[in-house]
Structure 1
Amino acid sequence: MLKSMLLLIGPTIMIALGLHGLNSVPLTFFLFYGWLLLISGARIRQCLKSERNLLFSKEGLLTGFITGIIFLAIIFGTVSAFSETFFDSAKLQKLLIDWNFTGGHQIMLILILLIVNPLLEEIYWREFMYANLILKMNIFNTLLITSFFYSLYHMLSLISLFNWPINLLGVIPVFLAGMVWGYFRHKFQTLIPAVLSHMLADLGIILVYFRFLHV
């Protein structure tokens, strides 16, 4: 039980230490993705070797693509429509500079968010933690717990990035997305639909950045 709790809360600790303790996005990425790789490294190798996780079904790809486009449209459309309510652009730009999300390494960080982040997060939550918890509880509770802890560390960044109460309410769609991607893992028995959908959702976030915050 203690081990499972540590595995669930570990990513949140890494984000808290890097973002709010060290105030650096690059260091946060190092700590966060380092944790995901260290803990689920063996599972990553299994995923890459598994025929199941390399299974490209037409239904799975279409489902991942459509939901990803929907998530992208919701993220970009909602923020575009209510940007002045959601955040202060000047204040947020300064915060990102303070967090070292700027300069020559900016493109690298964006590529990490777009490619590395969806892949590692899906392997950690929808494969590694899923496999650990599904042996102890039913599918609904497994999805509920993994989605809760997946959304928990997102709240640490949302609190700083968005105005009140959007910064707390923003955790809800993150949680729901986790439930959807977990369901995809269960239904299709492969991570590919969830990874594809996740990548497109993250693209929506990056488009928001270039539309409103890039200087």
Structure 2
Amino acid sequence: MLGYSLLLLGPAIMIAFGLHAMKSVPLTFSLFYGWLLLFSASSIRQSLQFLRNNALLNKGVLTGFGTGILFLFLIFGTVSAFSDSFFDAEKLQQQLIDWNFTGGHLIWLILILLIVNPLLEEYYWREFMYTKLMQKLSVLKTILITSFFYSLYHLLSLIFLFNWPINLLAVIPVFLAGMIWGYFRHRFRSLVPAILCHMLSDLGIILVYLKFFHV
């Protein structure tokens, strides 16, 4: 059980050390994505071959794309409509500067959020951890656990990004997204729908960043 606990908490530990202790977004990205890649590499190789024989893939792609478009508009629309209540733009811009995250990193932010982040997060939580937990637990418990720990480290970031109590409440849609992507993994026996939906959701986050936080 110690091994499982470390795997579940590892991403949050990387975020806590890089962002809270060292106060550096570039370092946080290196630690966090390095952890995900370390444990997801074997799952990535195995799943590529499985895609060729998945009869549910076409339907899953349409589901992932449609859900992703909905998530994109919900993220950008909600934050835009309630931005004054959600955060203090000037304070947040200063926080990004303190984290060594400024306009010079824009291209890297886009590449990471649109490609690296959805791929590695989905392979880690909805493939690597999903497969491990499914050996001992039911589908529902597996999806609940992976969604909980997936949302846990988002809380460590949201604490700084939004006003109280929005920063705490914002974890709820993250958890629900994890549940939906876990269901996609189970229903379509593929990560493609979840990855596609995740990419479009992250595009919504990028649009929010460009509109309010770009410094």
TM-score class, shorter-chain normalisation, is over 0.9
Work out whether 1:14 is the aligned partner of 2:14. Answer: yes
Q: Which deviates more from structure 2 when the two are superposed, residues 65-74 or residues 44-53?
A: 44-53
Aligned to 2:30: 30
How high is the TM-score relative to the length of structure 2? 0.96
Structure 1 distance, partners of 2:149, 2:52, is 26
Note closer, same or farther for the CA distance 1:4–1:53 as it changes in structure 2 (3 Å cut).
farther
Matches of 1:132 and 1:52 in 2, distance apart? 23
Q: Which runs of no fewer than 5 residues in structure 2 stay unpaired?
A: none
In 2, distance between residues paired with 1:85 and 1:107?
Answer: 28
Q: Which residue of 2 aligns with 1:113?
A: 113
Q: 1-side partners of 2:33 and 2:54: how far apart?
A: 22
Secondary structure of 2:180's match?
helix
For 2:194, the equivalent position in structure 1 comes to: 194
Once the two structures are aligned, what percentage of the paired residues are identical?
A: 71
For structure 1, the residue ranges without an aligned partner over 5 or more in a row are none
Question: In 1, Cα distance between the equivalents of 2:40 and 2:120?
Answer: 9
1:191, distance to aligned residue in structure 2 (A) = 0.3
Letter of the 1:114 counterpart:
L
Q: 1:53 to 1:191 in 2, by over 3 A?
A: farther
Deviates more, 1:98-107 or 1:141-150: 98-107
CA deviation profile, 1:119-145 (whole Å, cap 9, x unmatched): 000000000000000110110000000
Q: Deviations over 1:138-175 (max 9, x none)?
A: 10000000000000000000001100000000000000
Question: Structure 1 stretches (4+) deviating beyond 6 angstroms?
Answer: 53-56
Q: Is 1:155–1:171's contact at 8 Å kept on the other side of the alignment?
A: yes
User: What is the distance in 1 between the residues matched to 2:53 and 2:38?
Assistant: 20
Structure 1 residue 52, shift from structure 2 partner: 5.4
The equivalences for 1:159-178 within 5 A come to: 159-178=159-178
User: What is the total number of aligned residue pairs between the two structures?
Assistant: 215
How far apart are 1:17 and its partner, in Å?
0.4
* RMSD of aligned residue pairs (Cα, Å): 1.4
Tell me the residue number matched to 2:142: 142
Give yes or no for contact 1:53–1:189 (8 Å, CA) kept in 2. no
Question: Are 2:40 and 2:128, in contact at CA under 8 Å, matched by a contact in 1?
Answer: yes
